A and B are shown apart, each in its own frame.
Chain A
């Protein structure tokens, strides 16, 4: 049952377990949406309660955030190319674009760490006020997801080199790109709802 193959389908859908895993991950993303929605709601309620401390407009450097956004959006595009290379059965192409995706993600992460350090120097920390607590928690949760994603991607490169392209590795790749696109979608909301709304 687990290894029935149907060659007319894309590689990642050729095994029963691969199909189940992909659908299961969609449901997991549903849970993640609720998780981030709750964090956004908390930020929506607490984001204006500065308790005399710095406000978002005091600390945000919008130019940096735009670069961060471009890095992450581009990485989502390159993750799309990974899937395209998977359809072409081109393992070398997959590896190259996967590495580019992860590098862009790492660039985003480094910029976010610098950003946090900058806020810290301005006296805005996790403990400053309810607004800052909710801001850092929302951004931090997203950042932690990106960190996990980078580790996951590296692990996939390792598995690909060992097991080549099979229905199993293909479904793993598919799931990874779903995750990566999801992080990008969350970031679009953070960019508009947190950063743009914060400096306007």
Chain B
């Protein structure tokens, strides 16, 4: 519609100009670097076209770490701006954009992809499978998520960032009050990434139901696959709601419909309801796999089996059901009356019961165990008290009457950072330290890991604990500045200091990766460096393309632990090895991702006809895939024996 084409590139902002230059230089550097090292062919054949779940997982994690950096810089900018009263580091508009992109990127392009990456790598290994159920679809999921993330990130240099908050409430996010194209990026970018997530959800469900190894009934499955199964079910139920909400939002913004507008009979609160019908389950989509990660790490480093396995499973299932029944607690102040508010208040508080069960189970797992303070365990130990603070303040917020006081204050911001950072980020760090040797065959440096751990933990508490008090003193969230005589000013400054610690913590994490990769020869370890319990440790590190030469047979929980105890099933016999069928690589997912990105871009700029040509391109990819009758190839027994002999005996 009325787009000012001459003002498409965001200008007049020194920081954005600097990042524009930085982006161009980095891109040039990367392209020239790859060309100089003659790595294009390697990248294309080994990575861009891969359908191997482990490599796709690694690409997810690389994407997520980059997004973590971007989202972290956004957060740091916010804390800098609010460090002192009447600061002029960012103006109001820029601040709006920064808190919007911080939220979207951290939830949808950091937490989700990094968990998808870990799941991709670990899930098939833990259930003794050779791959996920649909390897090709898996690659498509990744490239579509990648396309959504890139499109969303393009916003701050081309066209302007979305600025209506990560919740993007209407009517503010509508055309009337946000006439620029920034919020189109929100609607289209997330829609694209959401398609990828939905496909991953289907893939994981079928993988878990159909690909488990011989003897592994559902209740002999480790805890992590269980949480992935429940997470995937939530994805199937919650994501289509968001798909519709984003579609309606797009129609409102681009095609002048009246779903959420003030005029024409629209209802703005309908958006809030649809958003949180997805948004609250989304919180559990990211936190359940993280719970699963802790349930793997704590038993390993306590040298005990998981306490209360069945109650853990049922707790996860109950949490997932309740997660669908609490969405109104995000807007008690909408004014639906005391009865509705009370119902949602009760369902919200009820969630703390199964969550409490899980907490006690972890504690009882450690009781009388021989606890080893390796980096993954340190993160798990830090998680318990930190997450508890988040949980308890959550119960405070759940009380509808009290919530009217906390609503939209920094108290809420502190609460959800106290749940999501220990709940997801700590788990992700723990998982990376824990499974890194499985993926690469060497450990990460423990000394730098400790620096990373302490800096990040101090930073986390220093940043977010003061926000509870600031919020109670009346600091509202999403406000770019405050007056000099506000009583909460000192808390805001402490919070800024904490943010610097967080940044230092993240930097030491990255430094650890760099240092360890450089010194990988000294850090090399065997296939089972932690003396662990589950099947992923029963094969070589790095894991061969076919995962298991012979799929292991399982008759109880912690199968690998018992295999080591009884010394059975560890040796490989020649006659058991058969040729292994593998799916062929394909460039189509990558191409499809690119077309998705271009199509999304055209929709963002409201160029309907070219955009529909793009949609036709997406269908062309699907037709190409449908007519592709390539059935893959086989790895010969000789090759398997050769690979296996590099790390164990083959009789």
Binding site for B on A (CB under 8 A): 1-3, 19-21, 23-24, 27-28, 30-32, 34-35, 38-39, 42, 45-46, 49-51, 126-131, 133-134, 137, 148, 151, 155, 158-159, 163, 168, 172
Contacts and interface: CB of A to CB of B under 8 A. Distances in A.
Contact of B198 (A31, A42, A133): A31
Given A38-B241, A133-B259, A27 B205 contact: yes
A155 B623 contact: yes
B360 to A, nearest CB: 33
B259 A31 contact: no
A131 B265 CA distance: 8
A130 B259 contact: yes
Contacts of B133: 20, 24
Contact of A159 (B198, B205, B251, B626): B626
B381 interface: no
B264 A126 contact: no
B451 to A, nearest CB: 44
B490 interface: no
Interface of B is mostly: helix
The 3 closest A-B pairs by CB, nearest first: A49-B265, A130-B265, A133-B257
Contact of B266 (A32, A34, A39, A130): A130
A140 B587 CA distance: 33
B142 interface: no
A72 B245 CA distance: 28
Contacts, number: 115
A51 B202 contact: no
A24 B202 contact: yes
A51 B265 contact: yes
Nearest to B583: A2
Interface of B: 130, 133-134, 198, 201-203, 205-206, 209-210, 236-237, 239-241, 243-245, 247-248, 251, 255-259, 261, 263-267, 270, 274, 580-581, 619, 623, 626-627, 629, 631-632
Nearest to B578: A1
Contacts of B623: 155
A158 B627 CA distance: 9
B633 to A, nearest CB: 11
Contact of A46 (B205, B245, B259): B259
A159 B206 CA distance: 26
B619 A50 contact: no
Which of A30, A133, A137 has the most chain B CB within a 10 Å cutoff?
A: A133
Contacts of B247: 137
| Chief secondary structure at chain A's binding surface | helix
A163 B627 CA distance: 10
A34 B210 contact: no
Contact of B270 (A24, A39, A42, A126): A42
Contact of B267 (A21, A46, A127): A46
Contacts of B266: 46, 49, 130, 133
A159 B627 contact: yes
A42 to B, nearest CB: 7
A65 B244 CA distance: 25
B217 to A, nearest CB: 18
A34 B206 contact: no
B619 A42 contact: no
A51 B258 contact: yes
A31 B270 contact: no
A38 B244 contact: yes
Contact of A30 (B236, B261, B580, B581): B236
A122 B545 CA distance: 62
A130 B580 CA distance: 57
Contacts of B267: 45-46, 49, 130
A21 B137 CA distance: 11
Contacts of A42: 244, 248, 259, 270, 274
Contacts of B240: 31-32, 34-35, 38
A49 B599 CA distance: 33
A163 to B, nearest CB: 6
A30 B240 CA distance: 10
Contacts of A172: 626
B581 to A, nearest CB: 5
A94 B267 CA distance: 48
A145 B581 CA distance: 35
Given A20-B134, A23-B209, A24-B133, A127 B237 contact: no
Contacts of A19: 210
Contacts of B259: 42, 46, 130, 133-134
A27 B236 contact: yes
Nearest to A33: B240
Given A46-B270, A133-B259, 10 more contacts: A3-B631, A21-B134, A38-B241, A46-B259, A46-B267, A128-B258, A130-B264, A133-B257, A137-B257, A155-B623
Contacts of B274: 38, 42
Contact of A133 (B202, B205, B209, B251): B251
Contacts of A137: 247-248, 251, 257
A45 B260 CA distance: 12
A179 to B, nearest CB: 13
Nearest to B207: A20
